[in-house]
């Protein structure tokens, strides 16, 4: 079905930049970059998929069944996203909050042209209808000129960010959530707030470059579907399938970085020992274990790492790794459907938390706290969690980023608000230049 050509690269970093720049000519494009972050579960250093041969685009109704059929029939590489609102396809839930971005709930495409980079090796996987363009494309990319613009300047002038809710409203809503927790309705819930700019425009690629440069996360994404853009600096994996093994790596627990080495080490130690942060993480690990058990073979759900602290350019994060084994008769889409949305972005118990979230939040989450990734022809997959991300509807000139945090019985509304601002720092710096 695909012709494959392999090349050895002389300068991996330069070719990566040229490849992403070259990919901007296509209306359907997805770029996934690990930023050379060393991790146990990884197939590629970077991936570019462009130029849709087939696509699916749908709302949440029967969304997973539509995806299941598409993935099965296509039996090829497909790339795309799952929005948070697909929760309405798996449970009796609704999404009635304000939606200014208007992304479809689910979108996947089968690329004509696919580039897989690992070390200094490039593999080009082209559908047969375009495989006569491989050699010419490689030469064109290699000779591509990069014109670096000033990444702090936006084409429509300064972007002015507005808050969907004020700090006082945020604290009131956190207190409402704490009341639910104290009544025993939930143990934990992820509460989010949106920051946005209307009648504004950005250069999507330069904005992505700037965001990625100051974050260097392991699950960076540049995604374009016509006038819809996602620019993501996500540090979190949602779900990965390798053969019959399923891997989930939820993040719960955040601390700032320090330029002082000794203070930075102290912040790591304090995060690791913080009882509130650890309890947040353990609660979500229990939720993930329960979700994975719905498709796992008996006794195969394992916690490989619990509350390990990983360091990124902007923050330290507490991450756990939970794995399971599935029978090869289980559809890969069913593994996703039975775990979606991810526990780190919902809470526990999951359904009650999602109902309360819907009532307290003011914006529809859409692609934020959904997932972006791909399926291979063999039915393996890898998806991130869409956090630390800028979403942009170019036609409507609407820019948005959302941040949130886990609210537990030990939460302090003022500290939760400060954590939100810490998580929003990179996006705000990129858009407002502050």
Question: What is the predicted pLDDT for the residue at 157?
Answer: 75
**Once rounded to an integer, what is the mean pLDDT over residues 9-14?**
92
Question: What is the predicted pLDDT for the residue at 158?
Answer: 82
Structure tokens that stand for 362 in this block: 């003011």
Structure tokens that stand for 263 in this block: 């203070």
Q: Looking at 14-23, 96-105, 274-283, 335-344, which range is the least confident one?
A: 274-283
Give the Cα separation of 226 and 26 in Å (integer): 8
φ, ψ at 23 (rounded to 5°): -70, -10
H helix intervals, 216-349: 261-273, 275-293, 332-337
Nearest alpha carbon to residue 241 among 44, 80, 371, 374: 374
- Predicted TM-score of the model (pTM): 0.95
Please give the share of the chain, as a percent, with pLDDT higher than 90.
Answer: 90
pLDDT tens digits for 114-161?
A: 999 999 999 999 999 999 999 999 999 999 887 555 555 666 778 999
CA distances, 264 to each of 60, 212, 223, 308, 350 (Å): 43, 22, 33, 16, 34
Question: What is the predicted pLDDT for the residue at 434?
Answer: 61
Please give the share of the chain, as a percent, with pLDDT higher than 70.
Answer: 98
Query: Tokens 């390798």 — which residue?
Result: 242
pLDDT tens digits for 42-56?
A: 899 999 999 999 999
Select which of 194, 236, 280, 416 is catalytic: 236
Angle of helix 350-360 versus helix 167-183 axis, rounded to 10: 150
**Once rounded to an integer, what is the mean pLDDT over residues 225-252?**
96
CB neighbour list of residue 199: distance below 8 Å, 6 or more residues apart:
397
Is 252 annotated as catalytic? yes
Domain assignments of the chain as residue spans, ordered by start: 2-432
**Once rounded to an integer, what is the mean pLDDT over residues 25-40?**
91
Question: What is the predicted pLDDT for the residue at 153?
Answer: 63
CA 260 to chain centroid, in Å, comes to 30
Give the Cα separation of 392 and 400 in Å (integer): 6
Indicate the fold that domain 2-432 takes in CATH.
Answer: Anthranilate synthase (3.60.120)
Nearest alpha carbon to residue 386 among 30, 48, 38: 30
User: Running DSSP on this structure, what letter comes out for residue 297?
Assistant: P
Select which of 252, 350, 423, 425 is catalytic: 252
pLDDT value at 214 more than 70: yes
pLDDT value at 396 more than 70: yes
Band of the pLDDT at 37, cuts 50, 70, 90?
confident
Question: What is the predicted pLDDT for the residue at 398?
Answer: 97
Question: What is the predicted pLDDT for the residue at 155?
Answer: 67
pLDDT tens digits for 153-168?
A: 666 778 999 999 999 9
């Amino acid at each position: 079905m695909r012709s494959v050509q392999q090349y050895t690269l002389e300068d991996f970093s330069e070719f990566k930049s040229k490849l992403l720049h070259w990919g901007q000519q296509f209306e359907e494009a997805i770029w996934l970059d690990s930023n050379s972050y060393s991790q146990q579960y990884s197939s590629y250093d970077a991936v570019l998929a462009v130029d849709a041969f087939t696509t699916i685009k749908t709302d949440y109704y029967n969304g997973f069944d539509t995806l299941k059929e598409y993935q099965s029939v296509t039996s090829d590489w497909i790339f795309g996203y799952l929005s948070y609102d697909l929760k309405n396809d798996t449970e009796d839930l609704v999404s009635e909050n304000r939606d200014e971005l208007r992304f479809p709930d689910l979108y996947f495409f089968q690329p004509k042209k696919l580039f897989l980079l690992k070390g200094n090796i490039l593999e080009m996987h082209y559908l047969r209808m375009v495989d006569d363009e491989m050699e010419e494309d490689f030469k064109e990319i290699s000779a591509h000129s990069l014109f670096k613009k000033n990444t702090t300047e936006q084409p429509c002038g300064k972007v002015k960010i507005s808050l969907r809710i004020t700090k006082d409203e945020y604290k009131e809503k956190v207190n409402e959530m704490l009341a639910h927790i104290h009544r025993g309705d939930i143990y934990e819930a992820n509460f989010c707030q949106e920051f946005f700019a209307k009648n504004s425009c950005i250069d999507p690629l330069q904005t992505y470059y700037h965001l990625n440069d100051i974050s260097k996360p392991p699950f960076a994404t540049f995604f374009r579907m016509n006038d819809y853009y996602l620019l993501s600096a996500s540090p979190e994996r949602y779900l990965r399938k390798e053969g019959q093994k399923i891997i989930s790596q939820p993040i719960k627990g955040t601390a700032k970085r320090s330029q002082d080495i000794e203070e930075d080490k102290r912040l790591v130690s304090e995060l690791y020992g913080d009882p509130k942060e650890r309890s947040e993480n353990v609660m979500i690990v229990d939720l993930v274990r329960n979700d994975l058990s719905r498709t796992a073979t008996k006794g195969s759900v394992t916690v490989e790492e619990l509350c390990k602290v990983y360091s990124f350019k902007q923050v330290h994060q507490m991450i756990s790794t939970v794995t399971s084994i599935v029978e090869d008769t289980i559809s890969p889409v069913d593994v996703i459907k039975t775990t979606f949305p991810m526990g780190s972005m919902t809470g526990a118990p999951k359904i009650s938390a999602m109902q309360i979230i819907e009532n307290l939040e003011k914006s529809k989450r859409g692609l934020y706290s959904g997932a972006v990734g791909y399926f291979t022809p063999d039915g393996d997959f890898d998806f991130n969690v869409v956090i630390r991300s800028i979403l942009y509807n170019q036609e409507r000139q609407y820019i948005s980023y959302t941040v949130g945090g886990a609210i537990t019985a030990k939460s302090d509304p003022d500290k939760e608000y400060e954590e939100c601002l810490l998580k929003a720092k990179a996006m705000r710096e990129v858009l407002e230049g502050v």
